[in-house]
Amino acid sequence: MKFKYVIVGAGLAGLTLAERIANVLNEKVLIIEKRGHIGGNVYDSYNEDGILIHNYGPHIFHTNDREVYLYLSNFTKWNDFWHRVLTYVDGNLVPMPITVETINKLYNLNLDCSQVEKFLQERAEQIDEVKTSRDVALSKVGKDIYEKIFETYTKKQWGLDPGELDTSVISRIPVRLNRDTRYFADKYQGMPGHGYTRMCENMIANKNIKIMLNTNYKEIIDQLHYETLFYTGPTDEFYDYKHGKLSYRSIQFQFETLDKNEFQEAPVVNYPNDYDYTRITEFKKLTWQDHKKTTICKEFPCSDGEPYYPFPTKDCKAMFALYEEDMKKEKNVVFLGRLAEYRYYNMDAVVRRALDVFGCRCQAPN
Ligand code: FAD
Ligand code: UDP
């Protein structure tokens, strides 16, 4: 079989590229996907009770990249959703990320914004060189808040002490000296009106795009002729683990449908210090679906299972650097996405990367 373009992986990276190739270049493209569905980790579906769930954990779209927002808006309308998270500490539910409200609730105070700034300055530790996620938290909020909110959650999530993780992990969570309790402050935020899977289906509704589901690309790649292969799967698998197996953190998602209208006060509640799970999502609060029952999902992080999170440690980065040397030598293979680039990408960043790759690697016909 001959295709000018072949894509491995039907996640957002692969689908964005396929959409551009099919619609802008009017070229045929083959996507090979080992799962039985498109969308990668943004896949959502209706469960047996008819409740829309995110099969691979809660996904909230947020970006400051206007072009990415407008691009995806071609394929979905958005519910005007602003994500909120509460975290369960010392028997109270307090807003995450840390805001003036969080400090007041945690310590039973009634401080204004400048008083909270002073409160945190007095507690923040002086760290000359911030090298780890532990340093990030201690230098912003001090030991007590670090222990209450970050230390145990991070140990559960990663199986490692925050002192072993690079700064990028806890830096994802801002500390706000105001009363903005939204989880993300980005300019554009939303939830696809009919879900992510519908958005993804709309992206590839073009007869130039052929998809093979339930197929590991290794089973058929030798029978294909292509000019360019876009690879969005794990890089170590591509190279048959020649430099070793890259570590990914996985999660077991435990879904429960309850015979009641509502379960919790916010779409997501974090449990830093109690239970073995890190957080509970209640999907109706993300999707605004009307239903007399409600489905929740508990997340139990683990090391074995589907690769979800690349590990931001020194050793893992060093191993990936060896693979990167090989990747650079490839002439007709382009690596992109969370697995292939071993990067903690959000959805918007993956779409941005795919649009950029399209811009440099795909030529319009003369
Ligand atoms: P993927 O979605 O992983 O797609 C890669 C595809 O390649 C998969 O479908 C896989 O099956 C396929 N594949 C792998 N190996 C092979 C093979 N050998 N042959 C064929 N196919 C193969 N981002 C946000 O912006 N907001 C959020 O709220 C958010 N929440 C998240 C929550 C969780 C629990 C997780 C894990 C991620 C979250 N993300 C979130 C990140 C988001 O999921 C990713 O940015 C995005 O899905 C990455 O797309 P991708 O195409 O790079 O990878
Ligand atoms: N984190 C934490 N406590 C929380 C929330 C997050 O310690 O209540 C840390 C944890 O290490 C986590 C990181 O901050 O992995 C990033 O959090 P985010 O909510 O962005 O995680 P994701 O949604 O990507 O799993």
Q: Each residue's pLDDT tens digit in the chain (366 positions)?
A: 889 999 999 999 999 999 999 999 999 999 999 999 999 999 999 999 999 999 999 999 999 999 999 999 999 999 999 999 999 999 999 999 999 999 999 999 999 999 999 999 999 999 999 999 999 999 999 999 999 999 999 999 999 999 999 999 999 999 999 999 999 999 999 999 999 999 999 999 999 999 999 999 999 999 999 999 999 999 999 999 999 999 999 999 999 999 999 999 999 999 999 999 999 999 999 999 999 999 999 999 999 999 999 988 889 999 999 999 999 999 999 999 999 999 999 999 999 999 999 999 887 655
Residue 167 belongs to some domain of the structure = yes
Q: Is 350 in the pocket of ligand 1 (CB under 6 A)?
A: yes
- Ligand 2 center to 148 CA (angstroms): 13
Domain count along the chain: 2
- φ/ψ (deg, to 5) at 221: -60, -30
Among 149, 171, 193, the domain boundary falls at 171
Q: Please report which ligand is nearest the Cα atom of 43.
A: 1
Same-domain status, 357 and 208: yes
CATH of the domain at 228: 3.40.50.720
Same-domain status, 155 and 215: no
Residue 256 belongs to some domain of the structure = no
Residue from 281, 300, 278 nearest 51 by CA? 281
Residue 124 belongs to some domain of the structure = yes
Same-domain status, 17 and 96: no
Distance CA 191, CA 195 (A): 7
Q: Cβ distance 33 to 10 under 8 Å?
A: yes
For residue 17 the two structure tokens come to: 């590229």
Same-domain status, 318 and 238: yes
Residue from 250, 249, 282 nearest 268 by CA? 282
The DSSP H or E segment spanning 201 is helix 196-203
Ligand 2 pocket test, candidate residues 173, 249, 273, 281, most atoms within 8 A of CB = 173
**pTM of this structure:** 0.96
Residue 352 belongs to some domain of the structure = yes
Distance CA 89, CA 105 (A): 10
Same-domain status, 10 and 106: no
Distance CA 13, CA 237 (A): 18
- Residue 57, exposed/middle/buried by CB under 10 A (0-12, 13-18, 19+)? middle
In the chain, the amino acid numbered 79 is N
Residue from 115, 110, 103, 116 nearest 144 by CA? 103
Same-domain status, 318 and 221: yes
Same-domain status, 209 and 337: yes
Residue 31 belongs to some domain of the structure = yes
Residue 184 belongs to some domain of the structure = no
Distance CA 338, CA 347 (A): 9
Distance CA 205, CA 17 (A): 13
Same-domain status, 141 and 236: no
Q: Is 40 in the pocket of ligand 1 (CB under 6 A)?
A: yes
- Residue 201, exposed/middle/buried by CB under 10 A (0-12, 13-18, 19+)? middle
Same-domain status, 215 and 325: yes
Same-domain status, 154 and 210: no
Residue 137 belongs to some domain of the structure = yes
Q: What is the largest CA-CA distance in the chain?
A: 69
Residue 136 belongs to some domain of the structure = yes
Among 171, 192, 217, the domain boundary falls at 171
Same-domain status, 225 and 325: yes
- Provide DSSP, 209-260: EEEE-S--HHHHGGG-B-SEEEE-S-HHHHTTTTT-PPPEEEEEEEEEEESS
Domain that holds residue 13: 5-38+204-245+311-361
In the chain, the amino acid numbered 230 is F
Same-domain status, 316 and 167: no
